[in-house]
Structure 1
């Protein structure tokens, strides 16, 4: 992870000194001074050693674009991302798993066909395009539908975010982005849950449960669903990385000042230190989430503990 996060962004085109200087660095000496200040005059192996040492001590460097510590930038931008992508992930999991369970248990029925077709259609849509559609309909207004929601941003400029009114204002601003991400990822959870539950339906232990006199809903909820949750748990763990890194396209479309928009802005320089910090935070989130998922397997399925 450390190796990739360092060398991946060094192959990006562009010169930070010339991009940020915008003609101000008119002499080679000025360019050399800029590169020396940020350690860009060192050989790549030496830069990598410095990067490892600083990272292990919690120093992510100074942003080339914002001239502030990267760790401060990440902390400042992480809250909007956690709020946006975390909320949409929870909604997508709850709704998607419910759709998958109900569709699989009544396989081939009207609900199964409609929910599967709808979720696949939404999954096939690019997130930015779906977001623009929602903005056009529910923010700008279309025909008899008024523009109920803001077109972007996290807060209104004339509202204190820490007040009660500010909380409701934030919810209003996040409604369309959260709906966009929720709809886009429904198929992820519904299809995996549906497939897993279909694999469990023909197992002998469900026949035994029915023979004991359990109701159909009890057989489904107490036995089938619990075993079918294992693949979904893995998917949830993998998607935790999106909670940390943010949905770059959605944050850009809705102008949400999160980690995703920060990474987009950093790519234009390129701002190596911001890109490295964002990548490290996202990667660490995925690794930790997978560890938690592996530990949860033992709670969900006793066979794993054995």
Structure 2
């Protein structure tokens, strides 16, 4: 119960941050030249001033910046994200259509990076200064230093063009109407390369953090005591070392949630995934302010939710957080 109370307190404390992010993004977008109406008029090949004035009145762009911000926050209080000028439908509808690919990509990439980062970090720490440690550390450095878009393009060339094992992009086979398990397998097949591409950089970070944390915990007194009691090395690692060594990795999940969302912009563009990242890019190009602010709002909620879950997990792993000791 105390764990839940602590997590709820931190969740409430994040709400002012959410408002500051939205207000800052709104004001920052005002510095860019042009607005939604300018983008619409350009798509229509121009138009008269009366039409432009009517459109600005319709989208609430005929008042000052402060009034626009206030009106937006008031609408947001009722969960009204506004109307997308480019897509011709409510922003909430547009985001809900694009949200599943991004959530699936983030969940798959995070699971891939966390699991293999954990395993490789443990192996490197158990074989420190030996060839497995050198090999894993070198691979981690390569993964971290290489841009994700290059990994994506090379993965497409190798696995899609040359070997023809996996699809090059998209969120499903548009030529087929799969249902049930077949549809799930089809989506999973299309997510293999994007997950691999987005997860490699984070895998490199996690394995380095896990390796360093394992080496630190292995040198502590309680580990020597466990060994002195005659426990096997496997039991010492799994029952005593691993739980304490995982704390920095769990913390890093919350810190890197926003970074992973930012990385999905590149990955979704490379693999033509219809997710929030690609939608954000399209909204910036089209100057669709309402859609872009809605994406920022939903992305901030995702990051806050992930950190909320991380706080609960962290308190379960380390009870001293709840007790305050």
TM over 0.5: yes
Query: Secondary structure, in 3 states, of the residue corresponding to 1:107?
Result: coil
Q: 1:78 aligns with which of 99, 105, 111?
A: 99
Quote the offset at 1:83 in angstroms.
1.4
- After TM superposition, the score normalised by the length of structure 2 is 0.88
Q: 2:77 aligns with which of 46, 50, 56?
A: 56
Q: In the alignment, does 2:115 pair up with 1:98?
A: no
Quote the offset at 1:17 in angstroms.
1.8
Q: 1:3 aligns with which of 6, 23, 31?
A: 23
Q: 2:297 aligns with which of 280, 286, 306?
A: 280
Q: Distance in 2 between matches of 1:18 and 1:264?
A: 18
1:135 aligns with 156
Q: Distance in 2 between matches of 1:26 and 1:81?
A: 37
Query: Secondary structure, in 3 states, of the residue corresponding to 1:247?
Result: helix
2:53 aligns with 32
How well do the aligned residues superpose, as a CA RMSD in angstroms? 1.8
Quote the offset at 1:302 in angstroms.
3.0
Structure 2 counterparts to residues 1-306 of structure 1, below 5 A: 1-22=21-42, 23-141=44-162, 146-241=163-258, 247-304=264-321, 305=323, 306=325
Quote the offset at 1:24 in angstroms.
4.1
Asked if the contact 1:246–1:258 (Cα under 8 Å) also holds between the matched residues in 2, the reply is no
Q: Distance in 1 between matches of 2:194 and 2:60?
A: 39
Quote the offset at 1:50 in angstroms.
0.5
Q: Distance in 2 between matches of 1:131 and 1:175?
A: 11
**Which runs of 5 or more structure 1 residues have no equivalent in the other structure?**
none
- After TM superposition, the score normalised by the length of structure 1 is 0.93
Quote the offset at 1:25 in angstroms.
3.9
